[in-house]
A and B are shown apart, each in its own frame.
Chain A
């Protein structure tokens, strides 16, 4: 089954404690992206990757890091999480950047 898998689904952490949210896709897609979704603000793009070893900033990259060492995986790293990063995060993949996207089921992050 074609899917984008994110882990964990829920995460509660404290300010400053480094965390990683994993994302994996099994569709051999070249494009992958991370979004955060907040009430009233819609989906905002954090980082995206057009292919292996190629990553670019989206609209709200501050406080986040990503890596794309292999095609299937695109982890999101928060080196020092802060409460304003409390949000619902989605990973997505597609054949290319403006193709229809497959989304994961989301990671709800709470930073206290």
Chain B
């Protein structure tokens, strides 16, 4: 069974701070997806990373896929209250369906 461990589980910060959340596995994934879920809504895809070592930027969010394609990180610069939500990573390994991590709950206070 493939597992994706996300850390930290919870993160509470002030507006303007920087933060990094992690998604780790002992398994290799062919690609990794990051989703954000806001309260009362379903998860929404933020980005997909495919190549080992790949870095993708989405405004103040920077996503990195590990060289060995076993881990990924999400860095947010100057967090804003609108960044509040549950961040989920999901790995694709060529099996039939995605493997989801349990998520990191981020709260950004004004």
Contact = CB atoms under 8 A, between A and B. Distances in A.
Interface of A: 4, 33, 40-43, 45, 48, 50, 56, 58, 90, 92, 97-106
Nearest to B103: A42
Interface residues of B, number: 23
A43 B88 contact: yes
B43 A103 contact: yes
Interface of B: 30-31, 33, 40-45, 48, 88, 90, 92-98, 100-103
Contact of A97 (B40, B41, B98): B98
Given A40-B102, A100-B48, 18 more contacts: A4-B42, A33-B97, A42-B103, A43-B88, A43-B100, A48-B96, A50-B96, A56-B96, A97-B96, A98-B93, A99-B92, A100-B33, A103-B43, A103-B44, A105-B40, A105-B42, A106-B41, A106-B42
A9 to B, nearest CB: 9
B102 A98 contact: no
5 shortest interchain CB distances as A-B pairs: A103-B42, A42-B102, A98-B92, A97-B96, A97-B97
Given A97-B97, A98-B92, A98-B95, A41 B45 contact: no
A106 B38 CA distance: 12
Contacts of B93: 98
A41 B102 contact: yes
